[in-house]
Structure 1
Amino acid sequence: MGEWSLFWTGDTSTPAAEVVSGWRDLREREAALRFRDRQPILVSPEGRVDPRLSKIFRRSTFSAKAEGTQETYAPIYRLFFTFLWQRGLNWDQATPEDLEDWEDWRRRAAANPKRIEGATWGKELAALNLLYKAARGQGYVRENPVLTHTVRTQDGGTAEVAELAPSDVVHADVKWLTPRAYRLWRNVGLGGLLPSGLEDEGWRGRLGGRDCAFADLTYSSGMRRREAGTILTCEIPELGRQNYYSGKVGQQVAKRAGHTFYASHAALQRVWGYRLSIRAEAVRAGQARGAYDEVPGRRIVRSVTRRGRVLWTEWDGRLGEGSLDTLTAADRLRLYIRTEDGLEPAMLWLAENGMPFSYRSWTKVFERASARCEALGLGVFATPHMLRHSMALRVLVALHNALDRRLGLTPADRRHYEDVYGQVWSMVKDMLGHKNEQVTRDIYLEPLRGLQLDSLLNDEDNPVDAEKLAELSARTGLILDVA
């Protein structure tokens, strides 16, 4: 077909013997060649692997990117290389004119059934610029097809901007859900209820309990899709008598660094309910058919120490160890626990067949839930990131209100205590795992701008609750709410 192919080192989804016939020692060969775990391998239509690309993927600005970014960028390279190949060109022969033609095809060509918007093109442009910049620095290409020019920033500095940068990037107007809008979306979209709250006899979803538990955990904790989607059973806080419980997000599955998350008692109660019911049933089904006995690259956990050290036995009997912080999303998929009834995955979220559920698949779950709500005439929808934003907004407003009450400040007084209120942004920053406080302010201040914050946050007769967020919704139009 004249298409490039994309593979990943250490991929456990397909046995090595099926990938390359007779190469049962493929993982050992990868290690001998010093490939990184989960390193992309691009194979040309002729079946060749360019060692120059492998070097870029192993040691460059690409390898320094977060795992999620690498997984986003690699398919972009495959598509662009295929476009070049069908023009009779190798990846290292791309010119600015080729990139212009690619941009036209991706964004405007009538023959293209999957044209993309400005935001997606901006992401593709960033991916290609990263690759070709590294390739030019190594002397692999004569020119970077991504042409740029220098612009002056608001703070007096300079930045490089691509000539083909999109001018039509549209940011979603709605980023937040009020609690009642979230509950309606969850109960109807994921839980299979009717808008009236009654059971839908035509509902065929068998994993509603799992899906609602994941959504509640995300909405309560503000964890990213990958963070919540790759959590292990040993990382779930035990239930007690607290209102909120803390847990740790592993460094390798966080976007930039590991951090502490906080989840409510109600959210964790639903998670534990899923674990003891739907998940337990899926595990029993997997054990009954021997699904866990021949998993490629399987690691059987021997113990997890209080300091987060994980000791395991490799599939070939060798002993290994690591820490919860250093486990990647791929590592977590390979971990299994031996119980009295047999092996079971260490991952919390499982598919109906009992196998670990890929964190990327949650996007489709949310899309189906939103489509169900739309089909029933409801104007509510959600994405995993919207739930993360919503948690931050609730916490932000509540913390401001709590500080006002604790310090006994009037609206006039509070203006003199910006240093105190800076602590609120710092706390939200830490809960979200943002790199710096300004990111938190830029994203979450938007619905609060232009409002009479003093009266909103210091109304003693109406403390911050769901109705306070509903008020924000009505005033700004940025927060999704229901009547």
Structure 2
Amino acid sequence: MRPIEPVSSWFRSLGRDGQDQDTMSTYAYAVLMLLGFLAKRGLDLASATETDLKEFRHWRTRTDKAPVQKPTWSKNSAAINNLYGYLKRTGVVVESPWRSDGNRGRRVVRDMRVRHMELEQYLYFRDVGFGGLVPDGGVDLSFRGWRPHRNRAVCEIALMTGMRIQEWSTLLLPELGLLGGQRPVTTDVDLSECAKGGYQRSVYVPRDAMELLDPYLLLERPHMVAAAQRTLRRKYRNLFVVDRVEADGRRVQGIFEGQRVSWMVKEMDPELRRLCVLETGDGLEPMALFLGRGGLMPTFSGWDRVRWRAWDRMKEQTGDQAMLLMPRRCWVYHDLRHTFALRLLIFLTRQALKDAETQELPMSTLLEHMLGNPLLSVQRRLGHERPSTTYKYIRYLKDPMQEVDAAFREWTAAGGASYTEIAQKLMGLEVGDASQR
């Protein structure tokens, strides 16, 4: 019960501010961990630098025997931020060495641009651009692309699951049940650490997406792993070397930065996933699903290069059909997510209409069903935090330009009405009705 200054005075200030018991307990534990960390370095709160606190954060979240997860670290961060705020106000430190890892920048909200693919466009995108085939489905013997089976599987996974690039590009083998030569028919993946905003949700990977992985897993990936062994061994000390996989692939144990650590797979951040390899006895097996040169998962810029090479290849194809399937701007991976959302929304809405027609539901109930359940289902699958984001897809269910063309088709076919006549007609004004002018 000896007073430890200035921590005891800080706790008294927390009590005067009316902090509840749980918060006080959480803050106490976090600060005790920090004091112990600094004491091993011969430091205290006043002499600690920003580098020391960054290393404390790295230890707590990465290299401790039981690394804390994001929710716990957020509480630790709040405690340390509050403590150093108090120390600065009371003159113990001139400037706080603590730098919060939160995003304080002002968020700019832009209207979402939705661009989706029709079936013919998607097949052209997947098979011709990424897969190296010719438009009629034949093999292009002149194709010199790199890993077409991997790239086609990427397109199928992105389309059939609606995952963002930071989600599908960081998938690990155990998350899909692919360790030990196994391959389930379908599977579910729990997204958390790699999802946007940490919004946790479950993603269903259907049969077709799993089947399209087979050529890549059987033909390309083993060669990529074998070619990368020398590079992986050279980087051994900087990798997270897993030597034990538990709980049906949900938890892994291994050595990272000289420390033995244990992680739930779904809670591993993208940086740690990139460094994750399995020691098999016969070599190092990267645990990332999609590999690049060197045996590690490609970066975002690496996937961008793949996309632009596919775009250039699609542009090289000749013929009217190829031109019709190409948009003016290069496709992006997120367009596959938009395609997933719109196709799912259309399907669920049609199912709702059929169910309502069968049950002879009143119109009010039908509208509630259409505008509620389908959209909420899509929202849950996409991982949108707010329903308003999903509602923006409604405007893209029809092509507005086609509606404009239909509205004016009879006018242009009739010999070319002027814009004044068109406007008067649409406003219900006849040209000869002078009293309405």
More helix by share: 2
Is 1:417 the counterpart of 2:366? The answer is: yes
Q: Residue 285 of structure 2 aligns to a residue in which SS?
A: strand
Residue 268 (structure 2) aligns with: 327
Select the residue among 403, 415, 418 that pairs with 2:352: 403
What are the superposed Cα offsets for residues 353-390 of structure 1, whole Å, 9 maximum, x if unpaired?
42332244222212221222123243425211000000
Select the residue among 347, 364, 370 that pairs with 2:288: 347
CA contact (8 A) 2:176 2:187 kept: no
Q: Check 1:268–1:312 CA distance in 2 against 1; reply closer, same or farther (3 A cut).
A: same
Structure 2 CA distance, aligned partners of 1:233 and 1:254?
Answer: 21
4+ residue runs over 6 A deviation: 51-54
Q: Residue 267 of structure 2 aligns to a residue in which SS?
A: coil
What are the superposed Cα offsets for residues 31-81 of structure 1, whole Å, 9 maximum, x if unpaired?
54646979xxxxxxxxxxxx989844x34434xxxxxxxxxxxxxxxxxxx
Q: Check 1:438–1:346 CA distance in 2 against 1; reply closer, same or farther (3 A cut).
A: same
Q: Which amino acid aligns with 1:427?
A: S
Residue 370 (structure 1) aligns with: 311
**C-alpha root-mean-square deviation of aligned residues, in Å?**
3.4
What are the superposed Cα offsets for residues 124-152 of structure 1, whole Å, 9 maximum, x if unpaired?
xxx5x57xxxxxxxxxxxxxxxxxxxxxx
Deviation of residue 280 (structure 1)?
Answer: 1.2
CA contact (8 A) 1:222 1:392 kept: yes
Residue 250 (structure 2) aligns with: 308
Is 1:387 the counterpart of 2:343? The answer is: no
Structure 2 CA distance, aligned partners of 1:227 and 1:474?
Answer: 34
Q: How does 1:82-481 map to 2 (within 5 A)?
A: 129=106, 172=113, 175-237=115-177, 239-240=183-184, 245-287=187-229, 289=230, 291-301=232-242, 302-306=244-248, 308-316=250-258, 318-377=259-318, 378=322, 379-380=325-326, 381-409=330-358, 413-421=362-370, 422-442=372-392, 444-448=393-397
Q: Residue 266 of structure 2 aligns to a residue in which SS?
A: coil
Q: Check 1:211–1:450 CA distance in 2 against 1; reply closer, same or farther (3 A cut).
A: closer
CA contact (8 A) 1:248 1:259 kept: yes
Q: Check 1:475–1:236 CA distance in 2 against 1; reply closer, same or farther (3 A cut).
A: farther
Structure 1 CA distance, aligned partners of 2:363 and 2:246?
Answer: 47
Q: Check 1:419–1:268 CA distance in 2 against 1; reply closer, same or farther (3 A cut).
A: same
Select the residue among 46, 61, 83 that pairs with 2:103: 61
Deviation of residue 269 (structure 1)?
Answer: 1.0
Structure 1 stretch 262-271 or stretch 292-301: which is displaced more?
A: 292-301
CA contact (8 A) 1:253 1:329 kept: no
Q: Which consecutive unaligned segments of at least 5 residues does structure 1 have? A: 1-27, 39-50, 63-126, 131-160, 452-472, 478-483
CA contact (8 A) 2:157 2:209 kept: yes
Deviation of residue 196 (structure 1)?
Answer: 2.7
Q: Which consecutive unaligned segments of at least 5 residues does structure 2 have? A: 1-50, 63-93, 406-437
Q: Residue 187 of structure 1 aligns to a residue in which SS?
A: helix
Structure 1 CA distance, aligned partners of 2:200 and 2:360?
Answer: 37
CA contact (8 A) 1:300 1:336 kept: yes
Q: Residue 291 of structure 1 aligns to a residue in which SS?
A: helix
What are the superposed Cα offsets for residues 83-108 of structure 1, whole Å, 9 maximum, x if unpaired?
xxxxxxxxxxxxxxxxxxxxxxxxxx
Structure 1 CA distance, aligned partners of 2:389 and 2:111?
Answer: 19
CA contact (8 A) 1:250 1:258 kept: yes
Q: Check 1:362–1:184 CA distance in 2 against 1; reply closer, same or farther (3 A cut).
A: same
Structure 1 CA distance, aligned partners of 2:239 and 2:404?
Answer: 51
CA contact (8 A) 1:175 1:386 kept: yes
What are the superposed Cα offsets for residues 209-235 of structure 1, whole Å, 9 maximum, x if unpaired?
111111110011000000000000111
Query: Number of residues paired by the alignment?
Result: 309
Deviation of residue 476 (structure 1)?
Answer: 8.6
Q: Which amino acid aligns with 2:270?
A: A
What are the superposed Cα offsets for residues 180-217 of structure 1, whole Å, 9 maximum, x if unpaired?
21011111111111223222222101311111111110
Structure 1 CA distance, aligned partners of 2:162 and 2:404?
Answer: 22
Q: Check 1:253–1:425 CA distance in 2 against 1; reply closer, same or farther (3 A cut).
A: closer
Deviation of residue 474 (structure 1)?
Answer: 5.9
CA contact (8 A) 2:224 2:293 kept: yes
Q: Which amino acid aligns with 1:193?
A: L
Q: Residue 382 of structure 1 aligns to a residue in which SS?
A: coil
CA contact (8 A) 1:237 1:247 kept: no
Output the TM-score relative to the length of structure 1: 0.57
Work out which of the two has the higher radius of gyration on C-alpha atoms and give 1 or 2: 2
Structure 1 CA distance, aligned partners of 2:156 and 2:404?
Answer: 25
Structure 2 CA distance, aligned partners of 1:333 and 1:298?
Answer: 9
